[in-house]
Structure 1
Amino acid sequence: MSVRTAVVGLGWAGRELWLPRLVEHADFDVVAVVDPAPTARAALDVAPGVPVHPTVDALTPAAVDLAVVAVPNHLHAEVSAGLLGKGVSVFLEKPVCLTSGEADTLAAAERAGGATLLAGSAAPHRADVGALARLVPELGRIRHVDLAWVRARGIPRAGGWFTQRSKAGGGVLFDLGWHLLDTLASLLGPARFTQVVGVTSDDFVGADAWGAAWRQDEAAAGGTGDVEDTARGFFVRDDGVSVSLRASWASHAARDVSRIQVVGSAGTAELRCTFGFSPNRLPHAELTLTREGTTTSVAVPDEPIGSEYGRQLDGLAALLADPGRRGRAIGEARTTVRVIEDFYASARSTHRQTPVLVHQ
């Protein structure tokens, strides 16, 4: 039986990522679309005949099994909590929440409505990341992970909500950094962070020349960004693994490159590829395994750009039917948002000479 699904939000993610994939997927039946903007609703041509509503008030447990929420970051918790509280389950792509307080709100709504929150993060569902994950057991005791997603030019349109702290929560750390942290958890399992040090910079965010040309974000007239375009950090997990992270919307690099290196007592595995949809990408993913001075290439599946989003949907119906999933997404999101909060606290306190001790 198909999952009766509503798409909430017809911005870039709802319009380009989720709606067409849901319409094509056998497990889902798109029964409603929600967006308050008449222009956005008028542009709907992927799902002809599907009812379009200006608010989520029309979505009820009697009519909808799942709401795919694709609204700006600052509305994630508000919209999702409202749906969960009245019994409608929600699939919400990262970032699930912007603060620990919002995580508490979502948890309370999930309990009150008896619904389930499912969280999405595309990068862990990539085939090349899956190939890297299969190497991890061969690496012995994991000691360190290096995470990076560095774009050459890829800042969302200046003045749009992505570059406004009040609406996005932050900059590239909430955007690309959340993907990297979710990928880390998918490779090593979830863990808390006992130490966090971070710095941010905004050298490019105000210049149009460094924008993401492939995105069709709406710009605010005369708007400027007040978030970071680059975040660099060093963390220690409670299992003793150290982690370095760099996320950059723009840089002086020639191509957009994502890199994950996992260092263990028995070897080092490294994946170089390009996450996301940028056309300025590496032609092929490269995965290597290094042991005792010898580096060998490991075969990596080649797949169309964006396949990871469809792969998320392949398992979503089963997760929705599993009562054991309730509460899990919020618990994982709480860990991620806490490390981001502590990262920003460290970045604001550049005079501090010792790492920020985080939530125990």
Structure 2
Amino acid sequence: MTLRLAMVGFGWAARSIWLPRLRRQPDLAVTTVVDPDAAARAAAEDDGVGTVLDRPDALSAADVDLAVVAVPNHAHCAVAAALLRRGIAVFLEKPVCLTETEAEELASAEKEGGAVLIAGSAARHRPDVRALGGLAADIGPIRHVRLDWVRASGVPGTGWFTRQDLSGGGVLVDLGWHLLDVLLAVLGPVEFDDVVGTTGTDFVGRSSAQAAWKDAAATGAVADVEDTVRGFLVAADGTSVALHASWASHATRDTTTVELHGNAGTARLTCTFGFSPNRVAEPVLTLTRDGASDAVPFAAEPVGAEYDRQVAALTALLADPASRGRAVDDARWTVRLIERLYASARGRTSCAVA
């Protein structure tokens, strides 16, 4: 059976990340594109898409099996909930939602429409992250986790990304969502008693800090979100998490670091999440015990393979009854932490960061 897909939103992510991968899957067919922008619709027509619409409420469950939603963040919940209520399954790009209230709205829509919501958050699908997660049981209980994703120059060029009213937040909603999703995949839904966060805005307005590998920056675009966030989370049992995400910095490479500190050893992954060409040469995973470090092998994959893996799994996820409610549960946990980090940061003066 071939699933008929509608792409709702035809911006950079839809065109560059999702469309090529969806088209490579023999059990998927992109039949429709929905976008309010005339230029985007024209691009879809030029790309050979058969049906091009200007609004998602024109979609019907009789014509579409799954909607791939890649619209600006502020519209994620409203668009996805409306589709779900009409019985159309949704693959929703991260962030799945921006508030706990939106998470409950999605849960209600999924239940009312009987359609499944699937979350598109890629980092947990990387082979190095999966190998790291496999070490957790060997070195546990885990006492501390370090989550870093620091770009040298990587402020998103798409204008809405840096507008609070359209994005819902800055780097915490963007890169931070991926880091927290990795934490969730490795440790499960840990509840934290204490959450402290700080934010910084040293780089978001600098043209030299823009991500040259994405869309060009919009001239005169508003920049009223954070480019850097640091957080510290502590659970009742003493488990702690240090989070650091930056769109730009004084670093020379875009680097992601995830460390698991357990009572029987430390596992450390150094790599680069995402598509930036200014990457760590190759991912490295090490296990350290009693003063000795050993490299842990895992399957090497090309950049972006984690997105291929998500697309390849769509048909099976839609058919699996266990998929229902899973995306909302994960999003509820993630956005609760994001809201608490922002609430903490608002209680203090945003700090200068390097």
Same fold (TM over 0.5): yes
Aligned to 2:187: 188
Secondary structure in structure 2 of the residue aligned to 1:252 = coil
- Given the alignment of the two structures, is residue 259 of structure 1 paired with residue 257 of structure 2, yes or no? yes
Q: Give, in whole Å, the separation in 1 of the partners of 2:49 and 2:126.
A: 33
Could you say what secondary structure the match of 1:191 adopts? coil
1:45 shift after superposition? 6.5
Q: Where in structure 2 are the equivalents of 1:43-58 lying within 5 Å?
A: 43-44=43-44, 47-58=47-58
Tell me what 1:356 maps to: none
- Cα deviation for residue 73 of structure 1 reads 0.1
Deviation for aligned residue 1:211: 0.3
- Counterpart residue identity of residue 171, structure 1: G
- 1:16-95 alignment runs, 5 A limit: 16-44=16-44, 47-95=47-95
Corresponding position of 1:120:
120
| C-alpha contact (below 8 Å) 1:260/1:272 kept by paired residues | yes
Distance 2:57 2:319 in 1: 24
Q: Are 2:300 and 1:302 equivalent residues in the alignment?
A: yes
CA offsets 1:182-204 (integer angstroms, 9 cap, x no match): 01111112222221000000001
Say which SS state the counterpart of residue 279 (structure 1) adopts: coil
- Flag structure 1 segments of 5+ consecutive residues without an equivalent: 352-360
In 1: Cα distance, 2:311 partner to 2:46 partner:
18
Partner residue in 2 for 1:172:
171
1:336: which partner in 2?
334
How far apart are the structure 2 equivalents of 1:325 and 1:62?
22
Aligned counterparts of 1:223 and 1:94: Cα–Cα separation in 2: 22
- For 1:189 and 1:29, the matched residues in 2 are separated by 34
Whole-Å Cα distance in 1 between the matches of residues 273 and 146 of structure 2?
15
Contact in 2 for aligned 1:116/1:326 (Cα 8 Å): yes
Give the secondary structure class of the aligned counterpart of 2:44: coil
The corresponding residue for 1:357 is none
Change in CA separation of 1:257 and 1:45 when aligned onto 2, cut-off 3 Å: farther
**1:92-171 matched pairs, under 5 angstroms:** 92-157=92-157, 160-171=159-170
TM-score (norm 1): 0.94
Q: Distance in 1 between matches of 2:277 and 2:96?
A: 27
Q: What is the aligned-residue identity percentage?
A: 57
8 Å contact kept, 1:191–1:239: no
Letter in 2 for 1:99: T
RMSD: 1.5
Q: SS state of the match for residue 319, structure 1?
A: helix
CA distance, structure 1, for counterparts of residue 324 and residue 338 of structure 2: 23
Within 1, Cα distance between the matches of 2:250 and 2:155?
A: 13
**In 2, distance between residues paired with 1:320 and 1:97?**
20
Q: TM-score under structure 2 normalisation?
A: 0.95
For residues 237 and 65 of structure 1, do their structure 2 counterparts lie closer, same or farther at Cα, with a shift above 3 Å needed?
farther
Question: C-alpha deviations, 1:37-60, integer Å up to 9, x for none?
Answer: 111121236851421111112211
Name which of structure 1's ranges 226-235 and 34-43 shifts more when overlaid on structure 2. 34-43
Shift of 1:324: 2.5
Superposition pairs of residues 197-212 of structure 1, within 5 angstroms: 197-212=196-211
Q: State the one-letter code of the partner of 2:287.
A: L
Equivalent residues, number: 349
Shift of 1:4: 1.5
Q: What whole-Å deviation, never above 9, does each CA across 1:78-130 have from its counterpart, x for those lacking one?
A: 10011011110101021001111111211111111111111111111111112
Q: 1:350 to 1:218 in 2, by over 3 A?
A: closer
Q: 1:301 to 1:13 in 2, by over 3 A?
A: same
**Structure-1 residue corresponding to 2:352:** none
**Residue 157 (structure 1) shift:** 2.3
Query: Could you tell me which amino acid in structure 1 is paired with residue 193 of structure 2?
Result: T
Relative to structure 1, is the Cα distance of residues 316 and 210 closer, same or farther in structure 2, using a 3 angstrom cutoff?
same
The code of the aligned residue for 1:214 comes to W
Q: Which residue of 2 aligns with 1:318?
A: 316
Which whole-Å CA distance do the structure 2 matches of 1:245 and 1:233 have between them? Answer: 5
Aligned to 2:227: 229
Q: Which runs of 5+ in 2 are unaligned?
A: 350-354
Q: For residues 330 and 217 of structure 1, what CA distance do their matches in structure 2 show?
A: 33
Do the aligned partners of 1:191 and 1:238 also contact (CA within 8 Å) in 2? Answer: no
Q: Matched residues in 2 for 1:180 and 1:47: separation?
A: 34
CA contact (8 A) 1:10 1:70 kept: yes
The answer for the alignment partner of 1:354 in structure 2 is none
